[in-house]
A and B are shown apart, each in its own frame.
Chain A
Amino acid sequence: MISIAMATNRSAQRPNGAPQTKVCQFKLVLLGESAVGKSSLVLRFVKGQFHEYQESTIGAAFLTQTLCLDDTTVKFEIWDTAGQERYHSLAPMYYRGAQAAIVVYDITNQDTFGRAKNWVKELQRQASPSIVIALAGNKSDLAAKRMVEFEEAQAYADENGLLFMETSAKTAMNVNDIFLAIANKLPKSEVSTGGAGTRVLNDADAPRASSCCK
């Protein structure tokens, strides 16, 4: 499994002659209304693929991908959550302790933008104060059916200090870029090697979590 993750890790190029690079691990969570393309974005970023009939997500899915910045290797531990409102109660388990979040909406559907704003609000209230939030207006390939104007979303993002891009999991437009922008914005002072995934549970009120994790 690890080797597969490495093999598909397209952006991790060893910087020439750098004997040791700083490795940073970040936990990133994707939030947003159902069917806006969260899983598709992750799949595009992690495996470079796009499935027209991407299955819906129940609960959450976990994937990892590594990016190489100038002197640092950034490893994202990505939690792709379920979009249906009913699964909302599970979300805190995933965004608590996350250093970054991508809130996704579908540019062809105004309601999903409204839902995205609610997610942003919730993150601002409940998540770690230092969390880096990016807003992704997905399905930009369907511009002909656009219902959310770029300017409107940009203005909202500026107001709230969010990174913002319109993306397309289908054409891959801005997909790597948005992750890269997040990586750039994340503080890379501390070198963490511990599984951030494990931290999810320590922070959550998961009953069985104890301090025995390595």
Chain B
Amino acid sequence: MEDDYKFAASTFFAKNHPGETCGSNGLPLTPSSITILGRSQRLLQIEHPNLCTYLDIIRGKHERIIVVAEVIGKALAEYTTKFSYEEIINIATQVACGMKLLHDGNIIHRTLSDDNILLDSNGRVKLFHYGMYYMTNEGKEVPFPLGLPRYFSPEAIIGGGGPSADVWAFGIIILELCIGKLWNNLKPSPTMRRILTLVHSNNPAERIAREHYALDAYKEIPENIRGIIEKCLKIYPSERATFKDLHSELSSMNTRTPSEIKPVRGLMGCKLQYLYHWWQLAGGDIQAELKKSGLIKNSPPILSMPIAILLDGPTIGGKTGALFDRRIAKYSLDLLKNRLSHIPPSDFYPLMHERRRDYEAMALPKIIRERDTEYQFYRLLWFQRLLHGYPYTAQCIRSEAEIDIPPLVRGDVWAALLGVLGDIETHYERIDKETPTHTDRQIDVDIPRCHQYCWLLCGAEGHKKLKRLLKAWLLTNPQYVYWQGLDSLTAPFLYLNFCNEARAFACLTAFVPKFLHKFFLKDNSAVIKEYLAKFWQMAAFHEPQLATHLHDINFVPELFAIPWFLTMFSHVFPLHKIVHLWDALLVEGPSLPLFMGAAILRQLRDTLLDSGFNECILLFSDLPEIDIGECVKESIDMCRSTPKSLSYRRFTNEPEIKDPMVRYAYITYLNTFICKIIIYRDMVEIPMEILLNEVCPRISLSDFFSLICQDKCCVIDIRSNLLYEKSCIEGSINIPYSGVHLGQHELKSLGPQPYKVLVEAVKMNKIIVVASAEDGTAQLVRDKVFDFIKILYKGSPSRFI
């Protein structure tokens, strides 16, 4: 069954740089395979009915490249029967149509031949592997010549040729379809010599026919087809027709309306990229199959060892496999069909108004869900629906993204979450990304250090794109400057939108004001200080014991957390972790990073508690493995359980909290919170100096009252007895601050009544509020609250449980 094979792989070797050659900057040369991968990303984006979609470009061992692409039917070369002229016109029309798209996109085929034009039983034609010349940088990155000599145009043989060389090849192919194979059994160099002798001829097509004793057959070709052939086989490239002309001419000749192909339904009707993805998740393995079918041969490594290595690099001897194998291996989708056979047909068409389904896999960690065929099947189809409806489905996308985002559409989903809309291409197009600026040197030295383990970002293509993005962003944000770290911040967007720079740019543009408002100001010290202070407060709120310890050893976030927040962790973690962090970030909003920081501290908690200053700072200079799934989960929990006003920052784009902010401290211990409150009359904004001095955050009055109403807090009033007796919050206990002594570590010493209430509150998981009414004793109160924390955490925990 034709339908069984949906894609195929072929393989070749990229050029090996001899020895350990270095570029002029002292850095190693980019391996050719990396360059090829970088360039081929663009090919992965091409979708056209007459072009086989590229599905994957894989880098194997020893500079091996494996190309996976759609296949249909079989190659023209494999058909033994002669085609009718009607069929030939049909084939030519479709080839011209595919070629027109390639030339419009400045992609030269160069290897067009009868073995990469595929035709199926419905008369559909698709070009296969048309990107070889493009991805190999005009053949410069591979150690073998590209293309079949008999399709070379004269100028291509002598080392030149642009797009019009493809037109020549096209002409030869049609000629062959009409009068049979040309220069059959001739070796490459005589073939090329023959072609070169054509340059003296007025009508190369006729001359070729004569040389093949096929002049009669040639004369029999209908005039219009012959006309097409002769327009292609002109010696001067400039005289040849273009595919645009050819296509329109052929279309008008084509009498054949492509036989009605019934749209395929069910699994085979799904997007090819999805099928390939699911097939892989179901256990499909391109390389293993290639080995099975003999396209990758495994010989013992010793055989590929060079016999000699010259001092200046090059090696002699050593067996390597064929550099380029014209064969392709086709893959059956049976594996996937079997895997998904139990899925009812209606599930292929999820409806928006259906209630969200609960899948078994939902309980599993995200990384496992991402590898689950069936789960990804459902998620992808669902997201495809939602994305199709964007922007009207924005809310829906957000709530689905909260569960998880299928990796295959992450770029699209992020753009939707960031509200990217409109004609972003034109906008990006208009920005000057070339004019040199004084920031260029810094960008130039940073880019080759930015996420270079990622093969997309480490090649020349990636470098160019990243530079353009950075320059474009700086130009459109004149209020901001380039801070080292902006490169890392841009990298995830480029990584997910490698062939859609405009969207990468739009995402970055939307991301910064939301998450890093004012961070890239020339003078950003106030912004960063506030952010770090808030982070420290949130850490103290959720990890009081750790916070007291770090406070005691004088360990401050300025020493380690600047890169965390300035780059939203993109300078700290590898891309595969960043994407999961940012998935959560984009859904939860701008407060989440504060809690992510706290969650990282929590993960390192035991080590930190045992460490002094030096060990702590060493730990952060070389951050140990962090479980990102756990970190995301914890941070979301913390974020949601923290009253909004606590993480309030002045430097934010979020709507302001209009409530008077109440001077406040809020600390958790064993899932219980203690907080402190001093009621101000009319202060909304906390002066920076005070904020920076506060270990504990403040809360808005409304958040405070809602806690009281829900009976979620226990208030400790630390005013004097006198004031307390005059008026107090109902249910509060009074521990005048003068009654707490430094160095007291017993909860009991607070007195029997407070002890009872506190123990009760801790048991009920309540938030403990410490309240005062004046500002003059701010410092005092701060210390007192700190004492409370110490008392609570130094007392044996069993007392509280």
Chain A residues in contact with chain B, CB under 8 A?
1-2, 5, 34-35, 52-64, 77, 82-84, 86-87, 89-90, 93, 139, 141-142, 145, 170, 195, 197-198, 201-202, 206-210, 212-214
Contact = CB atoms under 8 A, between A and B. Distances in A.
Interface stretch (B44-52, B53-61, B125-133, B443-451): B443-451
A1 B449 contact: no
A113 to B, nearest CB: 15
Contacts, number: 118
B572 to A, nearest CB: 9
B510 interface: no
A197 B483 contact: no
Contact of A56 (B25, B484, B556): B484
B618 A58 contact: no
Contacts of B708: none
Contacts of A35: 445-446, 449
A212 B549 CA distance: 11
A145 B552 CA distance: 50
A53 B448 contact: yes
Name, among A77, A86, A201, A207, the residue most crowded by chain B CB atoms within 10 Å (CB to CB).
A86
B542 interface: no
Nearest to A202: B554
B449 A64 contact: no
Given A1-B611, A1-B619, A145-B24, A58 B449 contact: no
Please give me the 8 A-B residue pairs with the lowest Cβ-Cβ distance, nearest first: A35-B445, A53-B452, A58-B563, A59-B562, A62-B617, A61-B621, A84-B484, A62-B621
Contact of A201 (B484, B552, B556): B556
Given A53-B452, A58-B571, A84 B551 contact: no
B28 interface: yes
Name, among B27, B484, B551, B618, the residue most crowded by chain A CB atoms within 10 Å (CB to CB).
B484
Contacts of B554: 198, 201-202, 206, 208-210, 212-213
Given A35-B445, A56-B449, A2 B615 contact: yes
B449 A195 contact: no
B349 interface: no
A105 to B, nearest CB: 14
Given A84-B442, A201-B556, A59 B26 contact: no
B553 A62 contact: no
A90 B620 CA distance: 18
Name, among A61, A83, A87, the residue most crowded by chain B CB atoms within 10 Å (CB to CB).
A61
B304 interface: no
B617 A197 contact: yes
Contacts of B442: 34, 84
B359 interface: no
B453 A53 contact: yes
Nearest to A198: B613
Query: In which size bucket is the chain B interface?
Result: 35 or more
A64 B618 contact: yes
B453 A58 contact: no
Interface in B536-568: 551-554, 556, 558-560, 562-563, 566-567
B552 A212 contact: yes
A83 B446 CA distance: 11
Given A59-B558, A206-B554, 15 more contacts: A1-B622, A2-B615, A34-B484, A35-B446, A52-B27, A55-B450, A56-B571, A63-B622, A87-B484, A139-B26, A141-B26, A195-B614, A207-B693, A208-B556, A212-B554
A170 B27 CA distance: 10
A5 B567 contact: no
A8 B493 CA distance: 37
25 contacts: A1-B607, A1-B622, A34-B442, A34-B445, A35-B449, A55-B571, A56-B484, A58-B563, A58-B566, A58-B567, A62-B617, A82-B484, A84-B483, A139-B26, A142-B25, A195-B613, A197-B613, A197-B614, A201-B554, A202-B554, A206-B558, A208-B554, A208-B556, A212-B552, A214-B553
Contacts of A206: 554, 556, 558
Contacts of B25: 142
A110 to B, nearest CB: 12
A5 B28 CA distance: 29
B481 interface: yes
B693 A63 contact: no
B407 interface: no
A54 B563 CA distance: 15
A55 B453 CA distance: 11
B559 A59 contact: yes
A51 B448 CA distance: 12
Nearest to B484: A84
B692 interface: yes
B525 interface: yes
A170 B24 CA distance: 14
Contacts of B24: 145
Given A1-B618, A53-B453, A64-B618, A86 B556 contact: no
A201 B557 CA distance: 12
A205 to B, nearest CB: 11
B607 A142 contact: no
B583 to A, nearest CB: 23
A7 B571 CA distance: 27
A171 to B, nearest CB: 10
B284 interface: no
A84 to B, nearest CB: 5
Interface string B294-335: 000000000000000000000000000000000000000000
A35 B452 CA distance: 15
A113 B692 CA distance: 38
A60 B551 CA distance: 20
